[in-house]
Amino acid sequence: MIALAAIALCSILWALLDILGAVSQNQVFGVAAFENRFNEFRKTVQPHSVYGYLSDNLPNDPSALPEFYLTQYTLAPAIVKPTTAERLVIVNFHDNKPDAKLLRANGLAQVQNFGNGVVLCRRIQR
């Protein structure tokens, strides 16, 4: 009985040390930091609006999908779709300088650069 309780206590203590270790090494996925990048754009978002989404993540980048989810989480109540077929498209660059080649390749023209790699584009009719 004492052993049962002791194992449980040691396990939760171990978990606490694990979390403290992660904190000290700053290993947490930064939701707040990601949201801060979109602060300026978020102020312009209206409910019931729909945006497309594009990023400069590489095709096999494991953070591509979480970043799309985070963009939706940040910009709710607007709806963000993982497509460039919408009239307005949010582009998530990991560099402050927008990649004009990527925009052209996807048939997009810049409407406004909100800084921190967040660019609003419109779809060019082709």
Partner 1 sequence: MMFLCLAAIWLTGFGLLRWMFPRPLGWSLHNVLLFSLGIGAGAGVVSCLYFLALVLAGPNFTVLASLTGGVAIAALALGLGTRRQGTLLAWAEGPQPPWYLRGLFLLAIALAVTTFLVAVANNPHGDEGAWSIWNLRARFLFRAGAFWRDAFSTDLSWSHPDYPLLLPGIVALCWTLAGHESTDAPIAIAFLFALGTAGVLTGVIGVLRGKTQALVGGTLLLGTAGFISLSASLYSDVPLSFYILAALALLCLQDRHPEDLRFSALAGLMAGFAAWTRNEGLIFLAALIVARVVAALRFRDRTGPAALAPQMLRLVAGMLAPLAVVMFFKLRVGGASDLWSEKPALILQHLADPGRWIILIEGLVVVFFGLGRFLIPMVLVLALYLYLVRFRVEERDRRTLAAMGIALILSIAIELVVDLAWVDNLPVEIATGFERMLLHWWPAGVLMFFLAAGPLQLAAAEKPMPKSKASKKALKPSRRPAETR
Choice from 29, 94, 96, 104 touching partner 1 (CB under 8 A): 29
Q: What character string, x for contact with partner 1 (CB under 8 A) and - otherwise, covers 85-124?
A: ----------------------------------------
Residue burial 37-66, b: 16+ Cβ < 10 Å; e: rest:
bbeebbeebeeeeebbbbbebeeeeeebee
Q: What is the Cα–Cα distance from 44 to 79, expressed in whole angstroms?
A: 14
Radius of gyration for the chain, computed over Cα atoms and rounded to the nearest angstrom: 20
The single residue among 43, 48, 97, 126 that binds partner 1, judged by CB under 8 A, is 48
Backbone angles phi, psi at 15, to 5 degrees: -65, -40
14 binds partner 1 (CB under 8 A): yes
C-beta closer to partner 1: residue 85 or 100: 85
* Tokens 């040390």 belong to residue: 17
Contact set with partner 1 (CB under 8 A): 1-16, 19-20, 22-23, 28-29, 31-32, 47-48, 50, 66, 69-70, 72-73, 76-77, 79, 81
